[in-house]
Structure 1
Amino acid sequence: MTWQPAPGEVLQIRWPIEFATGVSRLVEGRRSFRDTDRRDIEAELQADEAWPARPEFAVLDASEQREQRAVNGMLRWVPAVVGAIVNLGGPSGVGGGREPHGPRESQDPENEVEDFPVMWAERGALARNVPWELDPDRVPRRAGVALLATDLAVTDRSVYVVGYGPKSPDEAEVLWSTPRSTITHAEVMPCSGAHPDLRLTFTDGSWIRLNAKATSQAKLLVNAVNGASRVISEADLTDGQRAQVTETAKRFKVDAGLPRVFTRLPSGLVQAELRRSSHRTGQSVSLCMTNDGSPAAPHPDDM
């Protein structure tokens, strides 16, 4: 049976997420779980919350961090030197000496460069209640394929983590939920990999860090949690917007019987998602419109 929120709740967005992963040199490929004294709380999670074990990630001590920084400092010169050699032949040289794109400069180096917590919580804090299934290192695998996937679902009242087999997203079950009132703030964390992470901070100061593997969806999730965007009904559309939706649906042969989702973005633009398949992850046509129905590009803070 397709998962739906409780009666009376309006689903704002649902999208695959998992705990984020470090990308800076000292924490690349790692994630940690800390209390506010930066102690590792793996053992407590396993004892208190029955989390499965996984390899422990210890913070490098001061001398190890100094040594690693020295090595990294030397390595940073390598692409520039190679680029200079390549460019000796002039501006037409192949490669141009460009360094590969990396994460943006960290505004929180303690938690992104020197360590990489995806949970920051004292014993009993709200963040400790999130499910272990968010951690890809703990999810069982068969032939290298994860046997469980997780989505973050945001309604006008609550935030859910739902889990499902990777081939059956419609047969999801709730692994965790919390009222939106328990989350004080959601934010995009740009010091990430190819796509920005998002951090959810709870009323007691604890927080978790997640990745949605899509830049636009990370912003949409953050906007939904913060209440900056909201799903509206088709009756809330202007005449011009309804006409644009009808014309777009006809052009792309969208089944009129499938659900359509309309979201008012922070800028005031309306995004329409017209599904072309009954499957949740099936193809869809997305359209962003002004009040008169004219197509428009989303603003930077929208998605």
Structure 2
Amino acid sequence: MILPRTFAFLFLCVFTFLSFILPASAAEFSVPGRVSQGHAFPASVQDIRPFTAQFRWRGESIRVKAVKYPSKRRWKADILLALPLDAKADEVLSISLHDEQHDFVVKPLGVRWPESVLKVAPRYVAPPPEALPQIERDRRRIRRALDSRTMKRWSLPMARPVPGGITSAFGGRRVFNGQPRAPHKGTDMRCAEGTPVKAAWAGTVLLAEPTYFGGNTVHLDHGQGVISSYAHLSAFDVKAGDSVRKGQVVGRSGATGRVTGPHLHFGLHVQGVPVDAMPLLTSPPALTGGPSRTLYERQPSASRSSR
């Protein structure tokens, strides 16, 4: 018969032995090694026990509580991150959980951004003095919206806001009336005036109001700093504070603001960084290549690989 004291000693020996041979964490990480400029990318970590992960990326730190996946008996924390369209140096993503930090290097790949030459009303190139207060107000309110950090509501793939193709891709430098301006921070999509515009993901309406350059614009918060925008609308179907479903109509396309004709300007910011939203229409998303092709370009053959 084993005495209680002997049993306790044997149990302690076995526990001590297992603590040496078993890993402190069975975490599995998913982080891409290469991402093109101006692209968003998902990163995640899984473990066999509950945890909260800390993602540190480009000076920002975001805590993500893991969600249980019953079918896999694992817990997973995921996040959407982004590389700026002018990124050149390698970036490091640090993921911390269970008091351990794991670092991953993400290498940016260059993209040859195009140039768009456009003709618009002169007041949208050289705004009159009376328009300056509204422009400054728009800037502050949009900046505040992009600073929102809430619980995750996005999921891949993203829903297409309108069925039309791309007329002006993300990232191209704009030249308005002969004057160079900042790169295009969204995707222009063909659609007739009054076309229903649908939410890319479930979210909360941060702004639904007229702006000087964007015309009638809706901004949706999808959590973790993922913000989508829908500009140049002819009408709103939502108001600030509304909760919307993925695919729900948020407005109707139009030609308000700085435009050359009716279309939807669809934008996506990830922690304040504008990105090309089109690669997120598939799951897994396209992390390399670009810019997204327009209706006016010859489509590549099936055998041609992306840059």
Q: Which has the larger radius of gyration?
A: 2
Normalising by structure 2, we get a TM-score of 0.21
Structure number having the greater strand percentage: 2
Normalising by structure 1, we get a TM-score of 0.21
Structure number having the greater helix percentage: 1
